[in-house]
Amino acid sequence: MNVDLEKKLVAACRNGDRSAYAGIVKAYSGRIFAICLGILDNTHDAEDIAQQALLKALTGIKQLRDDEQFGAWISRIAKNLCIDFIRKHKHEQDCIVEPAAVSQSGSKEYPELRTALAKLSEDHRLALMLYYFDGRSAKSIGETFMISQAAAQARISRARKQLRKLLEAEGGK
Amino acid sequence: MENTCEKIQEQIPELMAGTMSAEKTAKLVEHINGCSACSKYLEALQADDKLLCEYVEAMQTAVTQIEKGAMDALDGSLSDKGVAFSSIWRTIMKSRITKVAAAAVIIIGVLLVLNYVGSPGPTGVAYGISDVPGLLRSAKTLHVKGSRTYYLKGQDPISCPVEYWMDFEKLRYRRKAVYRRRTSEGGFADDYSEHEVVFDTTYKMGIDHTNKTVRFFRHRPFLSQFFLRVYRDRDVFLRDFYLKSDQLDGFEKTGQEEIDGVMFDIWEKKENRPMQMISEYWIEPSTGELGRYFFAFFYDRYPNRARRHDKYGDFEVLLDEDEQEWHENLLTCIERDKPLPDELFKIEAPSGYTVTISKEEAPAHGGVGYTTFPPTMPNMTVSLRYTLSEDGSVIMAWSDRNDESLKSQAGIFEALEPGGPLPELTFVPYALHPLFSVFREKNESITYVGCHLAYTKKGNIYYEWSIYIPDSDPPESEFKHKLTYDALVRRNPDDGQIRGLGLIPDTIITSSEEFDAFVLGGMAELSDDGKAPEGITYESVLQLAQQIRETLGN
Would you list the DSSP string of B393-423? -EEEEEEE--HHHHHHHHHHHHT--TTSPPP
Picking from B17, B73, B126, the nearest residue to A153 by CB comes out as B17
Using a CB-CB distance cutoff of 8 angstroms, which residues of chain A are in contact with residue B98?
Answer: none
Interface subset of A 10-69, CB within 8 angstroms of B: 16, 18, 21-22, 25-26, 29-30, 32-33, 37, 43-48, 50-52, 54-65
- Per-residue confidence (pLDDT) for residue B278, from 0 to 100: 93
Residue numbers of the domain that contains A95: 3-169
Interface subset of A 126-165, CB within 8 angstroms of B: 128, 132-133, 136, 138, 145-147, 151, 153-158, 160-161, 163-164
Select from B241, B265, B271 the least CA-distant residue to B253.
Answer: B265
Centroid of chain to Cα B553 = 29
Per-residue pLDDT for A96 more than 90? no
Per-residue pLDDT for A99 more than 60? no
Q: Which residues pair with B448 in a beta bridge?
A: B432, B470
> Cα dihedral sign for B88, B93, B94, B99?
positive
DSSP alpha helix (H) spans, A60-138: 70-88, 90-94, 100-103, 111-119, 122-133
Per-residue pLDDT for A60 more than 80? yes
Select from A124, A119, A116 the least CA-distant residue to A157.
Answer: A124
Using a CB-CB distance cutoff of 8 angstroms, which residues of chain B are in contact with residue A26?
Answer: 67
**Strand, helix or coil at B374?**
coil
Instruction: Out of B124-133, B181-190, B434-443, B455-464, give the one with best mean pLDDT.
Output: B455-464
- In total, the C-beta contacts within 8 angstroms joining chain A to chain B are 184
Select from B423, B432, B427 the least CA-distant residue to B463.
Answer: B423
Please provide the distance, in angstroms rounded to a whole number, between the alpha carbons at the two ends of chain B: 28
> Cα dihedral sign for B74, B76, B77, B79?
positive
Using a CB-CB distance cutoff of 8 angstroms, which residues of chain B are in contact with residue A37?
Answer: 59
Residue B149 contacts residue B326 (beta carbons within 8 Å): no
* A70 shares contact with chain B (CB less than 8 Å): no
Using a CB-CB distance cutoff of 8 angstroms, which residues of chain B are in contact with residue A126?
Answer: none
Kindly report the pTM of this predicted structure: 0.59
The domain total for chain A is 1
Contact at CB, A164 and B249, closer than 8 angstroms? no
Using a CB-CB distance cutoff of 8 angstroms, which residues of chain A are in contact with residue B245?
Answer: 123
- Per-residue confidence (pLDDT) for residue B347, from 0 to 100: 95
- Per-residue confidence (pLDDT) for residue A104, from 0 to 100: 37
For residue B313, with 0-12 CB atoms within 10 Å meaning exposed, 13-18 middle and 19 or more buried, which class applies?
exposed
ipTM for the complex shown: 0.83
User: pLDDT-based confidence at B544, cuts 50/70/90?
Assistant: very high
Contact at CB, B138 and A146, closer than 8 angstroms? yes
Residue A103 contacts residue A135 (beta carbons within 8 Å): no
Query: Which of A48, A145, A148, A155 to mutate: most B Cβ within 10 Å?
Result: A48
Question: Do β-strands B262-271 and B276-283 pair in parallel, antiparallel, or remain unpaired?
Answer: antiparallel
How large is the C-alpha radius of gyration of chain A? 17
CA distance B265 to B129: 9
Contact at CB, A83 and B129, closer than 8 angstroms? yes
- Per-residue confidence (pLDDT) for residue B145, from 0 to 100: 95
User: pLDDT-based confidence at B186, cuts 50/70/90?
Assistant: low
Question: How close B287 gets to chain A, by Cα (Å)?
Answer: 8
Using a CB-CB distance cutoff of 8 angstroms, which residues of chain A are in contact with residue B56?
Answer: 132-133
Residue A126 contacts residue A162 (beta carbons within 8 Å): no
The better pLDDT of the pair B91, B221 is held by: B221
Picking from A57, A65, A109, the nearest residue to B286 by CB comes out as A65
Give the whole-number percent of chain A exceeding pLDDT 90.
2
CA distance A77 to A56: 8
Contact at CB, B112 and A48, closer than 8 angstroms? no
Centroid of chain to Cα B267 = 21
Using a CB-CB distance cutoff of 8 angstroms, which residues of chain A are in contact with residue B286?
Answer: 63-65
Residue B11 contacts residue A150 (beta carbons within 8 Å): no
Give the whole-number percent of chain B exceeding pLDDT 90.
38
CA distance A78 to A84: 10
Classify each residue of B48-81 as buried b or exposed e, where b means 16 or more C-beta atoms within 10 Å of its C-beta: bbebbeebbeebeebbebbbebbbbbbbbbbeee
B106-127 tens-digit pLDDT: 333 333 333 333 233 333 447 8
Angle at B244 between CA B238 and CA B248, to 5 degrees: 120
Compute CA distances B19 → A31, A138, B156, B261, whole Å: 21, 10, 62, 47
Per-residue pLDDT for B36 more than 50? yes
For residue B441, with 0-12 CB atoms within 10 Å meaning exposed, 13-18 middle and 19 or more buried, which class applies?
exposed
Using a CB-CB distance cutoff of 8 angstroms, which residues of chain B are in contact with residue A123?
Answer: 245
B474-504 tens-digit pLDDT: 655 445 555 677 888 999 988 888 887 877 7
Number of CB atoms found within 10 A of residue A103's CB: 12
Contact at CB, A76 and B249, closer than 8 angstroms? no
Which residues lie closer than 8 Å to B272 by C-beta, 6 or more apart? B316, B317, B318
Half-sphere exposure in the Cβ direction for B338 (13 Å, CA): 10
CA distance B324 to B311: 12
Compute CA distances B522 → A77, B256, B387, whole Å: 39, 45, 14
Using a CB-CB distance cutoff of 8 angstroms, which residues of chain A are in contact with residue B67?
Answer: 25-26, 29
User: pLDDT-based confidence at A108, cuts 50/70/90?
Assistant: very low
The better pLDDT of the pair B96, B533 is held by: B533
Contact at CB, A60 and B116, closer than 8 angstroms? yes
Question: How close B368 gets to chain A, by Cα (Å)?
Answer: 27
Using a CB-CB distance cutoff of 8 angstroms, which residues of chain A are in contact with residue B135?
Answer: 146
Query: How is chain A split among helix, strand and coil, in percent rounded to 5?
Result: 80, 0, 20
Instruction: Out of A122-136, B306-320, B435-449, give the one with best mean pLDDT.
Output: A122-136
The better pLDDT of the pair B390, B414 is held by: B414
User: pLDDT-based confidence at B310, cuts 50/70/90?
Assistant: confident
Question: Do β-strands B213-218 and B354-357 pair in parallel, antiparallel, or remain unpaired?
Answer: parallel
The better pLDDT of the pair A109, B104 is held by: A109
Residue B293 contacts residue B146 (beta carbons within 8 Å): yes
Contact at CB, A151 and B101, closer than 8 angstroms? no
Which residues lie closer than 8 Å to B408 by C-beta, 6 or more apart? none
Contact at CB, B10 and A161, closer than 8 angstroms? yes
What letter does residue A61 receive in the DSSP assignment?
G
Select from A118, A140, A133, A124 the least CA-distant residue to B58.
Answer: A133
